[in-house]
Amino acid sequence: MSERKTGVYLCSGCGIGEAVNMAALEAVAKSEFKLEPKCHALLCGDEGVGLIRADVEGGVNQVVVGACSSRVMADRFAFNTAMTIRADLREKVIWSHPAGDEDTQMLAEDHIRMALSHAPKVKQAEPWVEGNYSQRICVLGAGVTGLSAAKEAAALGHDVLLVERSSELGGHARLGSKRLPHKPPYDAPAENDLADLIKAVEGNSKITVKTNTTVTKTAGMPGKFAVTLSCGAVEDVGAIIIATGYRPYDPSKLGHLGYGASPDVVTNTQFEEMLKAGKPSRKSNGAAVKSVAFIQCAGSRDPNHLNYCSSVCCATSLKQALEVIHADPTANCYVVYSEMRTPGVAEELYRTAQKAGVIFIKGAVKAVDGDLTVHVADELIGENVPLKGLDMVVLATGMVPNSTNPDAAAQEYGQEQLNADIDPEAPIKVAGYCGEAPATVEKRVQAQPPGGSLLNLQYRQGPHLPVLHDGFADSHYICFPYETRRTGIYTCGPVRRPMDWAEAVEDSQGAVMKAIQAVRSASAGAALHPRVGDLSFPKVNLNQCTKCRRCTVECPFGAIDEDEKEYPQFNATRCRRCGTCMGACPVRTISFDNYSVEMLTTQIKAVKIPDEFSGKPRILIIACENDAIPALDMAAIKRHGWSAHVRILSVRCLGSVSLLCISDALSVGYDGVMLMGCKPGDDYQCHFVKGSAMAAERLSKIGETLKSMMLEPERVAQVEVSIADGERIAGVINTFVDQITAIGFNPFKGF
């Protein structure tokens, strides 16, 4: 990088000029940083931006803008040949604090100090780009989901490698009768149009289909995966889509619902095949089926079996009942349910079934006799009424995700994998937890689905894709549903969550979009979300590395392997730029061009700490940029102000917060430190999956250290906030400030 030339630009618009003393702000830059700031009354306007641009053209390569929050006007203040650093004077200063106030002025000046102090350390990020990249997408599983994904990816111009374990394409849909309604008016079973989908895939020259094939090994990283197939071939692909679907719940475990008591007790999957073959007849004696009972939630929503709702069995039973009645209008169909779950348009099918005379019995099945008498405790009548004279009982069994290959030998999570995946259910103990501490939940064993891994990842963190406790592949449910915790590998269809055909098709499209984004970003050296387009990546100085392995264990995305000498080996395109490795490293030797522990501590130390006689405490809030910072901005927009004694430091993820940040803050005289980030746990909202959990884990160990420093553990706390907490967040801050004030000033102040 050529010689650094920094320009400072202050905006007095949006009321900033009226609320704070601009001249004093300029003076900070001049006297403390020897920089000559330029002030404008509307910096984001054409004239203001023109002013900056002229300087940039004249050689300024670092622009520090003191104006609004970094979350707004980013495009206005973006310049090709200069990097931009923002100091927020609007949202987190004048919109959240009283105008013309001494404390507000101190806050604004500190924001300028924080920005300018670390600016000299920030470098323009240079991307990691090396060697060849593949744009090809591998799709695993050729059921409806996989076929749709292949078709979609090919339509968008990408070559596809479609790998199917069995000898035929189509998965469950191949054996099924009609499909659930998927177009208006959504009120009747629809034709099974799988053949069209198969034809579209088979006739597409961009798609290579491999049947009777599995993946035996996967190495590399996004843009550079090497996938070894069971036939021995090694294929280069850029991204992988897992569309391995589901398997029906094992009915041999459903003896309490009559399975095995009579050949005429069948599963919905078996019944589907019977319907496909034509008018169903009794297995026991070949007689026509005139009277059928469907038993819902067979094995689902049952703590002894599958804990979750399989989501499609209600609609499937409705469809099957209608198929029975369409074939024989005099047939009697009963559906025994505890709740009929027909969200959205599936309600139309429910109505059709009601109109067609299907009887719905709300209640629990107590027993199913060998003569097919179903004993129901009818909740709506409040009586036990046996259901007699049935020809067939259909168990609406649920879906078990194929997040592993059930046919392959089990590959256990190694001990290290367990270390890496901190138990998502573990209660989080933080030194001084502020606000409502999360309820302590009973520790559950991390799910280890049976069977071998699908991809056999050659990753330091093990061969499996991490799964949630119900066995579905882990993904960020709210923000990034298709993401797994292995970058460049996406799940869609029932392996991700129970879903029907139409939903799976839609899901496959989502995953394809993500896969395409992954291959394209990889070859540009750019990050995927949430830091989309970020060109920085972690760099390690191996001279200082102690081989402690914290980084390789803690990376939420398995981005870091270990080389023969046990040094960390970064796979740049697997990295999501959270900085969790940076926060983990005890010797702080991991950093990014534009983000490092040093940059953070410099900002922390740049704040002027008033002495204890001023009566003004200083509290550091380390806030995650993904949810906490936006929530603070929302609070500011609504003018829910908070204490002016607080200084806010924005970080990529709480995972990137080194304990050094906290000890530095306390040693320079801050009276308290609060970490503000997303919800950890199995239902995490952390944008980097484990970042906030890691922070909590690290914080849980700081209590003893604080005590040994003669400091109260309550001075350090972590709170969960979500992006929707704009109403609550000011109160959370003020409560913490009160708590710290009650404890008293940090004895190290001015030390």
For residue 568, the minimal CB distance to ligand SF4 (Å) is 5
Counting Cβ atoms within 10 Å, is residue 572 exposed (0-12), middle (13-18) or buried (19+)? buried
Q: Specify the residue, 180 or 590, whose C-beta has the smaller distance to ligand SF4.
A: 590
Counting Cβ atoms within 10 Å, is residue 188 exposed (0-12), middle (13-18) or buried (19+)? middle
For residue 336, the minimal CB distance to other proteins (Å) is 10
Residue 243 identity = A
Tell me how many residues contact other proteins (CB under 8 A).
19
Contact flag: residue 348 with other proteins (CB under 8 A): no
Rounded distance between C-alpha atoms, residue 77 and residue 87, angstroms: 12
Residue 23 identity = A
For residue 333, the minimal CB distance to other proteins (Å) is 8
Contact flag: residue 380 with other proteins (CB under 8 A): yes
* Total Cβ atoms within 10 A of residue 439: 6
**Among ligand SF4, other proteins, none, partner that 557 touches (CB below 5 to 8 angstroms by kind):** ligand SF4
Q: Specify the residue, 380 or 409, whose C-beta has the smaller distance to ligand SF4.
A: 380
Q: Which stretch binds other proteins (CB under 8 A): 313-321, 384-392, 691-699, 713-721?
A: 384-392
Determine which residue in the list 59, 120, 255, 357 makes contact with other proteins, applying CB under 8 A.
357
Contact flag: residue 255 with other proteins (CB under 8 A): no
For residue 257, the minimal CB distance to other proteins (Å) is 17
Determine which residue in the list 332, 446, 685, 692 makes contact with other proteins, applying CB under 8 A.
332
Q: Specify the residue, 177 or 685, whose C-beta has the smaller distance to ligand SF4.
A: 685
Inter-CA distances, 474 with 412, 456, 555, Å: 17, 17, 15
For residue 385, the minimal CB distance to other proteins (Å) is 6
Which positions ≥6 away from 729 have C-beta within 8 Å? 628, 631, 632, 634, 635, 640, 642, 676, 721
Find, among 696, 701, 736, 739, the residue nearest to 718 by Cα. Answer: 696
* Total Cβ atoms within 10 A of residue 470: 16
Contact 451, 405 (CB under 8 A): yes
For residue 688, the minimal CB distance to ligand SF4 (Å) is 6
- Kindly state the helix (H) or strand (E) to which residue 377 belongs, with its residue range: strand 374-378
Contact flag: residue 385 with other proteins (CB under 8 A): yes
Give the 3-state secondary structure of 236-298: EECEEEECCCEEECCHHHCHHHCECCECCEEEHHHHHHHHHHCCCECCCCCCECCEEEEEEEE
* Total Cβ atoms within 10 A of residue 204: 16
For residue 653, the minimal CB distance to ligand SF4 (Å) is 8
Contact 443, 451 (CB under 8 A): no
**Among ligand SF4, other proteins, none, partner that 589 touches (CB below 5 to 8 angstroms by kind):** ligand SF4
Determine which residue in the list 1, 195, 287, 381 makes contact with other proteins, applying CB under 8 A.
381
Q: Specify the residue, 354 or 440, whose C-beta has the smaller distance to other proteins.
A: 354
Q: Which stretch binds other proteins (CB under 8 A): 204-212, 318-326, 350-358, 575-583?
A: 350-358
Q: Specify the residue, 98 or 386, whose C-beta has the smaller distance to other proteins.
A: 386
Which positions ≥6 away from 238 have C-beta within 8 Å? 133, 134, 135, 136, 137, 222, 223, 224, 225, 488, 515, 518, 519, 522, 523
Rounded distance between C-alpha atoms, residue 536 and residue 581, angstroms: 14
Q: Specify the residue, 38 or 351, whose C-beta has the smaller distance to other proteins.
A: 351
**Among other proteins, ligand SF4, none, partner that 551 touches (CB below 5 to 8 angstroms by kind):** ligand SF4
Rounded distance between C-alpha atoms, residue 647 and residue 603, angstroms: 10
Rounded distance between C-alpha atoms, residue 578 and residue 695, angstroms: 12
Query: Which residue in this structure is represented by tokens 């991809």?
Result: 455
Rounded distance between C-alpha atoms, residue 251 and residue 257, angstroms: 9
Q: Specify the residue, 331 or 335, whose C-beta has the smaller distance to ligand SF4.
A: 335
Q: Specify the residue, 367 or 410, whose C-beta has the smaller distance to other proteins.
A: 367
Contact flag: residue 342 with other proteins (CB under 8 A): no
For residue 248, the minimal CB distance to ligand SF4 (Å) is 33
**Among ligand SF4, other proteins, none, partner that 334 touches (CB below 5 to 8 angstroms by kind):** other proteins
Token duo for residue 390: 């049935």
Contact flag: residue 325 with other proteins (CB under 8 A): no
Cis peptide before 401 (omega within 30 of 0): no
Q: Which stretch binds other proteins (CB under 8 A): 25-33, 222-230, 347-355, 494-502?
A: 347-355
Determine which residue in the list 260, 386, 744, 750 makes contact with other proteins, applying CB under 8 A.
386
Counting Cβ atoms within 10 Å, is residue 267 exposed (0-12), middle (13-18) or buried (19+)? buried
**Among ligand SF4, other proteins, none, partner that 389 touches (CB below 5 to 8 angstroms by kind):** other proteins
Contact flag: residue 387 with other proteins (CB under 8 A): yes
**Among other proteins, ligand SF4, none, partner that 283 touches (CB below 5 to 8 angstroms by kind):** none
Q: Specify the residue, 136 or 687, whose C-beta has the smaller distance to ligand SF4.
A: 687
For residue 259, the minimal CB distance to other proteins (Å) is 21
Rounded distance between C-alpha atoms, residue 274 and residue 283, angstroms: 10
For residue 550, the minimal CB distance to ligand SF4 (Å) is 4
Backbone angles phi, psi at 78, to 5 degrees: -105, 130
Q: Specify the residue, 388 or 443, whose C-beta has the smaller distance to other proteins.
A: 388
**Among other proteins, ligand SF4, none, partner that 380 touches (CB below 5 to 8 angstroms by kind):** other proteins
Q: Specify the residue, 186 or 570, whose C-beta has the smaller distance to ligand SF4.
A: 570
Contact flag: residue 370 with other proteins (CB under 8 A): no
**Among ligand SF4, other proteins, none, partner that 547 touches (CB below 5 to 8 angstroms by kind):** ligand SF4
Q: Specify the residue, 121 or 290, whose C-beta has the smaller distance to other proteins.
A: 290
Q: Specify the residue, 231 or 548, whose C-beta has the smaller distance to ligand SF4.
A: 548
Rounded distance between C-alpha atoms, residue 234 and residue 250, angstroms: 34
Determine which residue in the list 38, 121, 217, 351 makes contact with other proteins, applying CB under 8 A.
351
Determine which residue in the list 354, 440, 541, 546 makes contact with other proteins, applying CB under 8 A.
354
**Among ligand SF4, other proteins, none, partner that 585 touches (CB below 5 to 8 angstroms by kind):** ligand SF4
Determine which residue in the list 361, 711, 729, 740 makes contact with other proteins, applying CB under 8 A.
361
**Residues 140, 143, 145, 149: is their CA dihedral positive or negative?**
positive
For residue 485, the minimal CB distance to ligand SF4 (Å) is 10
* Total Cβ atoms within 10 A of residue 2: 8
Rounded distance between C-alpha atoms, residue 112 and residue 122, angstroms: 15
Residue 242 identity = I
Contacts of residues 706-714 at CB distance under 8 Å and 24 or more positions apart, as own/partner, are 706/431, 706/666, 709/666, 709/748, 710/747, 711/666, 711/746, 711/747, 711/748, 712/432, 712/743, 713/431, 713/432, 714/431, 714/432, 714/739, 714/740, 714/743
* Total Cβ atoms within 10 A of residue 85: 20
Binding site for ligand SF4 (CB under 6 A): 538, 540, 545-551, 555, 557, 559-560, 568, 570, 575-581, 584-585, 587, 589-590
Inter-CA distances, 126 with 525, 537, 574, Å: 9, 8, 17
Q: Specify the residue, 352 or 475, whose C-beta has the smaller distance to other proteins.
A: 352
Token duo for residue 514: 């993500």
Q: Specify the residue, 16 or 420, whose C-beta has the smaller distance to ligand SF4.
A: 420
Strand runs labelled E in 573-653: 590-591, 619-624, 646-651
What interhelical angle do 659-667 and 597-606 show, nearest 10? 20
Determine which residue in the list 355, 366, 444, 547 makes contact with other proteins, applying CB under 8 A.
355
For residue 552, the minimal CB distance to ligand SF4 (Å) is 6
**Which residues of the chain form contacts with other proteins (CB under 8 A)?**
291, 332, 334, 351, 354-355, 357, 359-362, 378, 380-381, 385-389
